[in-house]
Amino acid sequence: MTEFRYKDAFSANGPEPAARFTGLPKYNFVYGHNDPAQVPTEALAEAAARAIRENGARLAMYHLGDGPQGYRPLRDFVARKLGATRGISCTADDVVLTSGSLQGMDLVNATFLDAGDTAILEDFTYGGAIGKLQRLGVEVIGAPLDSDGIRMDALETILKDLAGRGVTPKFIYTIPTVQNPTGSVMPLARRRQLLALSAEYGVPIIEDECYTDLAWEEGQPPALYALDPSRVVHIGSFSKSLAPALRVGYVVGGWDVLSRVLARKTDAGSPAIEQMVIAEYFGATFDQHVASLKAALRRKLDVMVESLEREFGTSAELFVPKGGIFLWLKLPDHVDVRTFAQSALDQGVAFNPGPEWACDPDAAKSYMRLCFALPAEHMIREGVAELARICFEHTGVPERRGNVQQTS
């Protein structure tokens, strides 16, 4: 390994250098991995072969010749899917395909935000969203949640306070359907209240629906964008409904928004083969695939809930999610999960500490997020048992595991 001579030339700003990847943890409850057994490899292989045979020559053209909004058949599918499942009336013209919903968020952030701006997020929310805004120099304000999503009384107080200080937040970022990390779904009445507050205070809404397709029950409330496209930008993804290593998401909005998003999309296009494969596979099998994936995820959630109840008893308050791949839980107030996260990782158990998923990290010190989608069921059981053992060693919690009093 050669040493680079010009370390002085590196930017003085920016994040700490990354550490070397040293392999995956044995009990892997972090990030948004999914269930390997649910990747439809044979059907995807056939879809890929068909799509490339039919349209592969178009790979010689940027954007497959369909322009910077992305592969037209996939945009058509997104519009159909959003009509059928989210109540959204749109066409391929209203869709920009992105490299995962993360790029969608980056482009939307760049469209709206300058350093010094203010944005409102849910107080527990996707850690990546918080980090992106902080890196842009944006002031992040967390709106309190209950089991139905953002509390409207609290949001109104925040908006009123900001207005009193002459501040108009640039947007409210929300994950209304299968919230990350809490797994809640915002009911229709509250969605209407949110839109009313948006209108009253003149604040747009960025709606991140990347987990919506994995809501357990049919008949979820319509997307905010469906209720009022003039106030909302809609972001979605195929990373959750198909596979996270695929990097294809989408932004849906009016042309005044999309034209600014596209002006900032200087990547010469999002992955073309992945767009082709998703259009080919999901064009025929979306409902069936998602139903089967959800059934598998619910089984794993059941195993995780059962394991946590056995290992942690009443020490862990579980926020059983209405869909998705995460379980959010709270340990007693005196527990700070940061005190044993690294030790757990060293012993092969990886979880996401609550503080990484919170606008106010200290307020989430007793919380953790567990992804239940990747490990096999016996690994969920073993991993939760290991987690309880390590947690007890560091915090004295849980005092009882199963029916057995713990001793240190």
Residues 317-356 that bind a copy of itself (CB under 8 A): none
Q: Nearest approach, Cβ of 244 to a copy of itself (angstroms)? A: 5
Q: Nearest approach, Cβ of 147 to a copy of itself (angstroms)? A: 29
Bond from prior residue into 40 cis (ω within 30 degrees of 0): no
Tell which one of 78, 102, 304, 350 touches a copy of itself (CB under 8 A): 102
Rounded to 5°, the CA angle 330-171-152 comes to: 55
Would you say 93 or 346 has its CB closer to a copy of itself?
A: 93
Q: What binding mask, one character per residue, do residues 188-207 give for a copy of itself by CB under 8 A, x or -?
A: --------------xxx---
Nearest residue to 86 (alpha-carbon basis) of 190, 202, 211, 174: 211
The stretch among 46-54, 216-224, 355-363, 384-392 that binds a copy of itself (CB under 8 A) is 46-54
The stretch among 28-36, 79-87, 311-319, 339-347 that binds a copy of itself (CB under 8 A) is 28-36
Site for a copy of itself in 231-290 (CB under 8 A): 231, 233, 239, 242-247, 253-257, 259-260, 262-264, 266-274, 277
Would you say 209 or 311 has its CB closer to a copy of itself?
A: 209
CB 351 within 8 A of CB 329: no
| Separation between Cα atoms, residue 21 and residue 15, nearest integer Å | 17
Would you say 49 or 291 has its CB closer to a copy of itself?
A: 49
The stretch among 1-9, 157-165, 213-221, 388-396 that binds a copy of itself (CB under 8 A) is 1-9
Read off the tokens for 70. Answer: 């992305």
> Which residues are bridge partners to 216 per DSSP?
none
Q: Nearest approach, Cβ of 260 to a copy of itself (angstroms)? A: 5
User: What single-letter amino acid sits at 277?
Assistant: V
Q: Nearest approach, Cβ of 348 to a copy of itself (angstroms)? A: 15
Contacts of 104 (CB under 8 A, 6+ apart): 96, 98, 235, 236, 237, 249, 250, 251, 261
Contacts of 42 (CB under 8 A, 6+ apart): none
Site for a copy of itself in 113-172 (CB under 8 A): 113-114, 128, 131-132, 168, 170-171
Contacts of 354 (CB under 8 A, 6+ apart): 124, 181, 328, 330, 337, 364, 365, 366, 367, 368, 369
Cα 236 → chain centroid: 9
Would you say 48 or 363 has its CB closer to a copy of itself?
A: 48
Determine the length of the chain: 408
Tell which one of 25, 73, 100, 236 touches a copy of itself (CB under 8 A): 100
